[in-house]
Structure 1
Amino acid sequence: MIELSAGQGPRGRDAAAIPDFDAVAFGPFSLRSRLLEKDGLPVRLGSRATDILRLLVSRAGEVVPKNEILGYAWSGLSVEEVSLRVHVAELRKVLGDGKDGARYITNIPGRGYCFVAPVRRGGRAEVATPASRVPERAAPPPSLPRRLDRMVGREDAVAELAARLLRDRFVTLRGPGGIGKTTVATALAHEMCDSFDGNVHFLEFGPLKDGALVASTVAAALGLVVHHEDPSASIVNFLRGRRLLLVLDSCEHVIEEVARLAENIYREAPGIVILATSRESLLVEGEQIFELVSLPGPPQGTRLSAGEVLAYPAVRLFVDRAVAAGHRDDITDEDAEVLARICGKLDGIALAIELAAARVGLYGLREMAALLDNRLQLEWRGRRTAPPRQQTLGATLDWSFGLIGESERIVFQRLAVFAGHFTLRGAIAVAAGAEMAEDRVVEALEQLVVKSLVSTQPDGASRRYRLLDATRAYALQKLADGGQLAQIAHRHALYVQCTLEAGMRDKEGSDHASRLQESASLLADARAALQWAYANDDGAGLRVPLAGSCTRLFVELNLLNEARIWSDRALAMLDEADRGGAWELELQSTLGHALMFTERNSEQAEAALRRGLEIAEALSDHANTFRLLSRLNMFYRRTGRYRHLVPTALHAERIARVIGDTAGIAGSKALLGVSYHLAGDQAAAQAHLDQGLRDDAALRGTQPGHFAYSRTPQIPLARVLWLRGFPDRALECIRPLVGAFGAA
């Protein structure tokens, strides 16, 4: 924080005396006095951002220190540096900095900011040259959701919230549904990335249905392997001594579990900064409340000009979204009164404003005002017994639903079964049918995106789609009222099962990281599909295969408690047709692996692994036979039953030779070497580990999906060599690994 005495900048200048200069121009912009224009049209810019721009332009080409800028723009105030970053970010957005190669403001790390675009004064161009080349800003962490291209009316809230977070460490952003809590939290997370050196984790709890999974979800996001039912203590221990920003979004439906975990983190990990978004307070130690109020709108019953009404954020948001949807951008004084009336009826709720604005291009402003009078009733003091997500936006969505065509209504309702983001392929699988051709689904989805009922974001070369939480709850109720929920939920569960099953078949030779990312995107839907299938008779036929495919995903994501619970439930429901088949094999293998880590190597874990091995051998499934032998070998190592190690390893070696896979044979040699080592035969251990090491290139090339995936044999070989009296060879064996770890 930089403290400035009243009226005095850090270099003795009068902080209120922003430099005066004649009109200047840069790119398509001109700046005179406090008016910024682009191609002759006024550009809306906040007062502090204007001060910053005037100062930087007046000293174009010169690096202006951050404390000097703060002294000019915040005279006499004590402010955090993050406030400056927020307003510079606003400037860059308005100027289009970085688009089509245009560069205006650059940051010189540790020094300040520099205006680098050519500046024309009195018709003469002065080219500003930065003191040094500045690297591009690092990409945000992959866990952050994509920020809006343009955020209206919340810049000051972001700046104030950032300062509060740095001061108080634990802030809950509270407000009603649809008001923009997630938008503000996302923008803040992006803005504060640099302050936390990129260590920002954004967790969306909206898709989570079971509060008991809160801690597991946080652990998975932090990259922790969960070895017990409640990982809360492990999370707190991991976070001690670290510094990062943890954003917990949409907490209201799992608030008890989030509150307990957040309080423990606040108490025990002083370097962690927590931002929660919720409709209600967490009511725990350390929590500070930041109330996100409605977007300010013009007073009702007063006559304002177009310029005056556009000074209010609610109107600016409405016009911004209306223009994006095809409405004309020339707002007249006659429109001002109608705009004021519309925004008053929408109560400054961002989602309601956006839904209404998206249709202005179709109906016009005055018709829109009439539709609001006749079709829309926003009651913010509604019944407390109503579903939470319908207490404020139900009427808005009712009206919006009445404006879309029949095909769009059908697709809109069916897409509500997705618990998270979905792809076009997923939309077709769930929404298409005998009465709805695929091309109609594609067309309807396009219209739903255009009309702001479905949001979209790029995902590499394709796109992903999502219904906002309130919108999804509304559409899901419509689907249930129409009697189609069971049918569409069955399609959804079948889609999840088939997609995950296809991923299981495509494991060999595929890129593990990209495959895991694709599978992880289905996690919320996998959980939702399982909950539905096991709670409804219509899902009975899908329970076993769905659990079999989902539990493999849980193991890959280290969600071992969920893998244990669902594999156990599915095995209890096996019928005679499934016994001894591929799905029982998958479930027994998963159960044994999960029990090994969550139930401390219980007898049940061994029984599950042995039953899986029995089925794999009966089916001549050599890859799974090898996997289960490897897991049994691990089980015996963990339980100290060393007499079983060599027989299981020899069995695995025979299977690897039957398969004829080079990496598998190398893996079996490593398994044998470790087994002989622990059984006490160091000479045999060295022989097998040496042989495995000669084929190490094949072993290191395996992906985690390969049946013989294993760790490098150098570490056990070094231990064997040390025990046999060859310390120099042991060090030589381990030295490359030490160098590799040091480089990492």
Structure 2
Amino acid sequence: MSAHGAIGTGSHLRRGTPVGDESSLVGRRRQLAEAKRMLRHSRLVTLTGVGGVGKTKLAAAVADEVRRAFPDGVWLVELGTLEDEGLLPQTVATALGLRDQSARHPEDMLCDHLRDARSLVILDNCEHILDSCAALTAHLLRAAPQMCVLATSRQPLGVYGESVLSVPALAVPGPRQSLSPAAADHYAALKLFQRRAKEASPDFTLGPENLETVIRLCRHLDGIPLAIELAAARLRTLTPQELLRRLEERLDLSADHITADLPRHETLRASIDWSFDLCSPGEQRLWARLSVFAGSCGLEEVEAVCSGDGIPEEHVLDLVAGLVDKSVLIGEEHAAQVRYRLLETVRQYGAERLVEAGEKPALQQRHRDWYHQLVDRAEAEWLSPRQETWLTRLQSEHANIRTALEFCLSRPGQTQAGLEIAASLWFHWLCSGRLSEGRHWLGRALALAPEDTVARGKALWVDGWLSVLRGDTASALPQLAECRALALRLRDTSTLVHATQFLGGHALYEGDFRQAIGLLREAVEGHRAAGDRNGLMTALYQLTLACAMSGDPRAADVGKQCLDLCNEAHAPWSRSYALWALGLHLWRQGEPSRAAELLRDALNARRVVGDGWGIALCMEALAWTAASAGEAERGARLLGAAEVVWRSIGISQSGFRHLAAGHETTETRLRTDLGERRYGAALRRGARMGLDGAAEWALYGSSAPAPRPPQDSATQ
């Protein structure tokens, strides 16, 4: 096997790049060694323990230590915000860098990808979808005998062969144990407190005057790392003595009370209660409201969703800064923007407080409304210079988009909004390689909202289009036929034009170019009359492709119209598709060198946004042009690289009839020119280059940087 085809960054852990913050992993040497030992003897190891005990940090440290034993990749799959268990396989596939674009079930695609891989998959925060995690893990372990799974959960998965490592709280001194400051480092709880305290207050020193106070603090917090970190952050405004007094008052403890009498989850709850009480009323309200976000969010989202009703918008920034200072909220820089997130335990606590305040329904509605507006803006600005910006932003907001969709499809009266959001995200499903997930949400929404509405019509043509792109043309046809019939009943011109267009697209992918050209020309005129630039661009692209593949000379003029539209809009991703279609036309016209120039330009644009589907198309067509230009060795290597990319997105290009003739012609020519032995060797060399290496080589030839060794390509 090779994981060479993994596209994009996903959530993988690069070899040689630390994934755990060593400064935060205190007192875990024994558990680290034990987890490593378990992974040598068991293919499933689950780290269990109460919330806040540090299971995720320990898993990240284990990954750093064992990555050399897993040359095909170490992959982190974050599950804390996943609400729809049906999306678990898609979530894992995305984290592994796979583009879920085939008609096959994502679980089957995962099994094929991992079948011969020596990989480690980390499933983080499994407890809320335990049964689904257990079933998927068991399936993957059976299908892929060399892979291992490291899970974190509050309870074991219950899968045969599972080894369970309970992650304990950090060690604290006993109640009557005398201790010198020099010996404090022997107790992990004190060591962690000291480190976090110095971060909060650089002048802090653990000495005789405060040692007993800190010991009592850590003892009351039962050695739970999250509780200790939240407490230590308070030293920005309080002394250790004030911290202890407030904690004992909050917990109603006497000075010699030992919290070990309480279950640890109750201790954590009490310590978070205490941290909440120490926040200002505005910070408390914002903490609770922030719990409606899944994953992370930017300041713009916080201001839009969380302000009002007691939080003036102009105060949000200061309140966010206060929660960051108190280590309640974590700020991380992503693409020149700071995004904020709550640790999962802290988010769950905030969600409880939101329910108690009676604000949860209103905040969920505001969250949904914000993301509905965001998606509408993205679609309206799609054919513009902001294409790459929107692709990046929607990738960052994917967990929140899922949450908004789940709200729509699980609340009475909200399904129409769910239809609108899922359908307006057509470009996101396509560019991010989430065709299967797009169909998942569209399918749920369509089943819940059978009424004749414009929103249903749009959802039907988007669902049909995604089906065609997955190679599932049989499923697409009924959807598109229903869309057309609905448009006629509603007398809705826009829906009718889109139904016509994608019926033409269906004919194109089935290889019926004559029918495709007729339908697509009709759609082009309809979009042009309506002033729909998104629709016009996609219809012109499809019409160019249909003309090019059928040898119709009108491809040049139609392709130029498409390219001019994209250039005028300064839309780089759309422009790359116009270039690709024009490149195919030039190849069919016997101009492989000119075709290759356009295809390389298109490939470069698609690499920027990580468009796996588009990269596969470019690599495939570049192999055709090389073969036609007499560059047989280059053509075979490109064909081998293209095949790896096709496999990585779960698709065989042979499933698309409009591409089949070009592929078969090229393959026959290369076998003839090189002979079977040289052809096979060149094909294998192309496959070994990996995605990045093959793309660099396709763009720059011999001047490209040398590809990395094959065993590293899975982590690139």
Verify same fold: TM over 0.5: yes
Distance 2:46 2:364 in 1: 34
Alignment check: 8 A CA contact 1:633 1:644 kept: yes
Distance 2:414 2:100 in 1: 31
Q: Check 1:381–1:563 CA distance in 2 against 1; reply closer, same or farther (3 A cut).
A: farther
Distance 1:657 1:532 in 2: 36
Match of 1:210 among 71, 75, 84: 84
Distance 1:141 1:709 in 2: 37
- How far did residue 212 of structure 1 move? 1.8
Alignment check: 8 A CA contact 1:170 1:286 kept: yes
Q: Check 1:449–1:150 CA distance in 2 against 1; reply closer, same or farther (3 A cut).
A: same
Secondary structure of 2:628's aligned partner: helix
Code of the residue aligned with 1:294 in structure 2: it is A
Is 1:448 matched with 2:448? Answer: no
TM-score (norm 2): 0.71
Secondary structure of 2:210's aligned partner: helix
Secondary structure of 1:314's aligned partner: helix
Distance 2:446 2:541 in 1: 34
Is 1:423 matched with 2:311? Answer: no
Question: Percent identity between the aligned chains?
Answer: 27
Alignment match, 2:460: 588
What pairs up with 1:101-500 in 2 under 5 angstroms? 140=14, 147=21, 150-193=24-67, 196=70, 199-222=73-96, 223-228=98-103, 230-326=105-201, 328-376=203-251, 393-433=268-308, 435-500=310-375
Alignment match, 2:515: 644
Secondary structure of 2:206's aligned partner: coil
Q: Deviation digits for residues 355-407 of structure 1, max 9, x if unmatched? A: 12222343322332333323137978879xxxxx9655322221111111111
TM-score (norm 1): 0.68
What pairs up with 1:16-27 in 2 under 5 angstroms? none
Match of 2:504 among 627, 633, 644: 633
Distance 2:91 2:166 in 1: 26
Code of the residue aligned with 1:366 in structure 2: it is Q
Code of the residue aligned with 2:220 in structure 1: it is K
Alignment check: 8 A CA contact 1:454 1:468 kept: yes
Q: Check 1:568–1:239 CA distance in 2 against 1; reply closer, same or farther (3 A cut).
A: closer
- How far did residue 318 of structure 1 move? 0.9
What pairs up with 1:712-723 in 2 under 5 angstroms? 712=581
Secondary structure of 2:75's aligned partner: strand
Paired residues, what number?
583
Distance 1:641 1:557 in 2: 28
- How far did residue 287 of structure 1 move? 2.3
- How far did residue 462 of structure 1 move? 2.0
Q: Deviation digits for residues 638-665 of structure 1, max 9, x if unmatched? A: 5576663342244356568878989975
Alignment check: 8 A CA contact 2:541 2:578 kept: no
Code of the residue aligned with 1:204 in structure 2: it is E
Question: Which of 1 and 2 has higher RCO (CA within 8 Å, sep 6+)?
Answer: 2
Match of 1:672 among 547, 550, 562: 547
Secondary structure of 1:670's aligned partner: helix
Q: Deviation digits for residues 50-83 of structure 1, max 9, x if unmatched? A: xxxxxxxxxxxxxxxxxxxxxxxxxxxxxxxxxx
Distance 1:517 1:687 in 2: 37
Code of the residue aligned with 1:413 in structure 2: it is A
Q: Deviation digits for residues 245-302 of structure 1, max 9, x if unmatched? A: 2111111111111112212222221332321111111121332222222212222211
Q: Deviation digits for residues 511-556 of structure 1, max 9, x if unmatched? A: 6555323202222212222222343358578445444445664454
Q: Check 1:540–1:713 CA distance in 2 against 1; reply closer, same or farther (3 A cut).
A: closer
Q: Check 1:379–1:300 CA distance in 2 against 1; reply closer, same or farther (3 A cut).
A: closer
Secondary structure of 2:45's aligned partner: strand
Alignment check: 8 A CA contact 2:94 2:100 kept: yes
Secondary structure of 2:120's aligned partner: strand
Code of the residue aligned with 1:284 in structure 2: it is V
Alignment check: 8 A CA contact 2:198 2:205 kept: no
Code of the residue aligned with 1:253 in structure 2: it is H
Q: Deviation digits for residues 569-611 of structure 1, max 9, x if unmatched? A: 54577799x934xx45532322222444468425422225536
Secondary structure of 1:310's aligned partner: helix
- How far did residue 473 of structure 1 move? 1.2
Q: Check 1:261–1:543 CA distance in 2 against 1; reply closer, same or farther (3 A cut).
A: closer
- How far did residue 637 of structure 1 move? 4.7
Distance 1:271 1:172 in 2: 17
Q: Deviation digits for residues 168-199 of structure 1, max 9, x if unmatched? A: 34322222211001112223334555654583
Q: Check 1:707–1:332 CA distance in 2 against 1; reply closer, same or farther (3 A cut).
A: closer
Code of the residue aligned with 1:441 in structure 2: it is V
Q: Check 1:257–1:729 CA distance in 2 against 1; reply closer, same or farther (3 A cut).
A: closer
Code of the residue aligned with 2:93 in structure 1: it is A
Distance 1:575 1:288 in 2: 47
Q: Which has the larger radius of gyration?
A: 1
Q: Deviation digits for residues 186-232 of structure 1, max 9, x if unmatched? A: 23334555654583321100000122211121123331325458421
Match of 1:506 among 356, 360, 381: 381
Alignment match, 1:732: 629
